[in-house]
Amino acid sequence: MESALKAAFPFIVYLVAILLAFQGVLMIVAYTVLAERKVLGWIQGRIGPNRVGPWGLLQPFADLLKFILKEDIVPDKSTKFVYFLAPLVALTAALMPIVVYPFGPRIADPLGWLVPYVAGSGAFGDAIVWIAEQARNMPLTIARIDVGVLYVLGVTSVGVYGIALAGWSSNSKYSLMGGLRSSAQMISYELAMGASVIGVVMLSGTLDLNGIIAAQINSPFRWFIIPQILGFIVFLISAFAETNRVPFDLPEAETELVAGFHTEYSALKFALFFMAEYVNMFTVSVMCTVLFLGGWYVPGLGHILEPGSIAYAVVSHFAFIAKVCSFLFLYIWVRGTLPRFRFDQLMNFGWKFLLPLALANVILTTIAVYFLYR
Amino acid sequence: MAASVLFFIFAGFAIASAISMVYHKNPLYSAISLIGVFLSLSSIYLLLAAPFIAIVQVLIYAGAIMVLVVFVIMLLNLDEDRPINRLRHLYAAGGGLGIVLLLQTLFIFYAVIRTPNHQVEADKTVGNTLSIGQAMFTEYLLPVEIVGVLLLMAIIGGVVLSRRLDQPEIELVVNKELERRKEEEAKKEPRIAF
């Protein structure tokens, strides 16, 4: 019994960690929707929703209830299986990168303070002592994949299917055009996004997200945004295009294509697409933070708090969340400010400007790394 | 032990997706089944301690090549395959060849089981990105460069073959429109402004 529990312990830890991270991301996404409506309102000279709860803070729950209770309309001539599959693919591909996010630094001894209280008090105490021993040097990442950056890029490129299949299976002209345009835009800007990450990977020598943060801690620049400012700009612009956000949101602009690929989706399936878009925003903001802004690393915090302590981990985690939220605010700010690209302008910009710029960044970084580190 | 269970799960899913790909008449369902095959193959690569290949399989095959195939299916609006005349006499030939293939597969199983020492230890340093990169740029540099030139040839060929030869110059069309509008403006009565 005891050895079975000990063997199953890592899986229990994984399960709990995944549930916590999933819950956290969904909460952040729900409140990003509210933040978008309020910030857009302030930019446009009005206040956003403020009826449901103080300051509108319970609005996401009202929205969720509305989505669940709405009538579910399915177009008659649609391809039913693909029609139902598409939002699931979009949301799953958007949520899968959660497992590689580095939420914080390693905690050296998270449960050590508990041991003196429970030591020697029977089987339960022994279990706590054993768990405390297992939890030493606990990383705050769910899965430390060696190829973390490639994993995120690969899974977001599978997310293109959700949009393409949704557009096609709705059996409607607007959906098809919107879906094709949206997927063409996404796969074009994936190239620039991947190429802009190469510079960061060269400077850190690893594809592992925790390794990239460690490289930023050890580098004289502290945050890679300083040597890789060109890569950062290319990555940020590609990120806007990847997530179909303004100024690249022609595929879902109301005046152009009714609602693009999700025209024919109602109620909960639309809510899944909506959530997938915001989770994609969150993913890309986390990637920006980790690759260019040092993730959870706050320069100088190691002198104030002791690295490896719980306080350091908590403050670093909040710093990480603050950086991610500032990128989400940037998304919303840009949405309220800029007009949108026409589709041919969009494709020209991606292929003829951003991709060569990203490749130029790769060449410059290669030259710099060769001469500085040989 | 867990690796064997996982292998059978992923292999079963791969085989089921492959059968589904061949079975469906609707080409889009076949494409989706092929994506399922690639994803399960990627999981099997992970079980073989090749994380880079697994991720690149998802990134390139499932994420780029199959997107292209799905685009083609959607844009060409391919109808479902409808067999018009069934060549019944070929069923026997197909069945016979299938039985031959099955016998060959059983023979391979038999040979593998009879071979001693078929436990392969996964060398942990071979599949990761660092070793692949090092091998690519030292021992296998020439093949990598040749593959690069081949891809460049394919891209240039694609661009050349798909250019339009008979589209009128856009500037000419725009100039004609501008001239037409100027003539219309000149013909109109001048408006009196109050």
Q: Would A54 be classed as within a structural domain?
A: no
- Give yes or no: residues A130 and A222 share one domain: no
Which of the 8 DSSP states describes residue B120?
P
Q: Please, what is the average pLDDT of chain B?
A: 85
- Return the pLDDT at A234: 94
Q: With an 8 Å Cβ cutoff, are A157 and B63 in contact? A: yes
- Return the pLDDT at A6: 79
- Give yes or no: residues A121 and A156 share one domain: no
Out of A8-17, A322-331, A348-357, least confident range: A8-17
Q: Would A306 be classed as within a structural domain?
A: yes
- Give yes or no: residues A278 and A134 share one domain: no
Residues 95-154 of B with CB under 8 A from A: 128-129
Percent of chain A with pLDDT strictly greater than 90:
37
Q: Would A60 be classed as within a structural domain?
A: no
- Give yes or no: residues A342 and A233 share one domain: yes
pLDDT, tens only, A128-150 = 888 888 888 888 888 888 889 99
- Return the pLDDT at A232: 94
Spatial contact of A193 and A235, defined as CB atoms under 8 Å apart: yes
Nearest CA in chain A to B46: A145
- Return the pLDDT at A183: 86
- Return the pLDDT at A354: 93
Q: Would A152 be classed as within a structural domain?
A: yes
Q: Is the pLDDT of residue A162 over 70?
A: yes
- Return the pLDDT at B171: 64
pTM above 0.90, yes or no: no
Contacts of residue B58, Cβ cutoff 8 Å, sequence gap at least 6: A154, A155, A157, A158, B38, B39, B42
CA distances, A89 to each of A86, A96, A155, A176, B31 (Å): 5, 11, 11, 17, 14
- Give yes or no: residues A135 and A216 share one domain: no
Q: Which of A147, A164, A187 is nearest residue B52 as measured by Cβ atoms?
A: A147
pLDDT, tens only, A146-158 = 889 999 999 999 9
- Give yes or no: residues A318 and A303 share one domain: yes
In chain A, the number of structural domains is 2
- Give yes or no: residues A260 and A133 share one domain: no
Query: What count of other Cβ atoms lies within 10 Å of the Cβ of residue A122?
Result: 8
Which of the 8 DSSP states describes residue B84?
-
Q: Which of B29, B74, B129 is nearest residue A164 as measured by Cβ atoms?
A: B74
- Give yes or no: residues A248 and A180 share one domain: yes
Q: Would A34 be classed as within a structural domain?
A: no
Q: Which of B52, B67, B129 is nearest residue A187 as measured by Cβ atoms?
A: B67
Spatial contact of A260 and A270, defined as CB atoms under 8 Å apart: no
Give the closest residue to A336 by CA, choosing from A42, A27, A33, A111.
A42
pLDDT, tens only, A268-316 = 888 898 899 999 999 999 999 999 998 889 888 888 888 888 888 899 9
Q: Would A27 be classed as within a structural domain?
A: no
- Give yes or no: residues A249 and A124 share one domain: no
Taking any CB pair shorter than 8 Å as contact, residues of chain A touching chain B are: 79, 81-82, 85, 145-147, 150-151, 153-155, 157-158, 160-161, 164-165, 167-168, 176, 179-180, 183-184, 187, 190, 207
- Give yes or no: residues A287 and A259 share one domain: yes
- Give yes or no: residues A130 and A168 share one domain: no
- Return the pLDDT at A122: 74
Q: Would A33 be classed as within a structural domain?
A: no
Chosen domain end from A139, A159, A184: A139
- Give yes or no: residues A100 and A221 share one domain: yes
Q: With an 8 Å Cβ cutoff, are B51 and A161 in contact? A: no
The domain in which residue A154 lies consists of 74-105+140-373
Q: Would A45 be classed as within a structural domain?
A: no
Spatial contact of A179 and A260, defined as CB atoms under 8 Å apart: yes
Tell me the C-alpha distance between A277 and A249, whole Å.
Answer: 11
Q: Which of B26, B55, B62 is nearest residue A147 as measured by Cβ atoms?
A: B55
Dihedral of CA atoms A124, A125, A129, A132 in degrees, nearest 10, equals 70
- What pLDDT band is residue A70 in, cutting at 50, 70 and 90? confident
The stretch B7-19 carries a mean pLDDT of: 95
pLDDT, tens only, B66-119 = 998 988 888 887 666 666 666 777 888 889 999 999 999 999 999 988 877 756
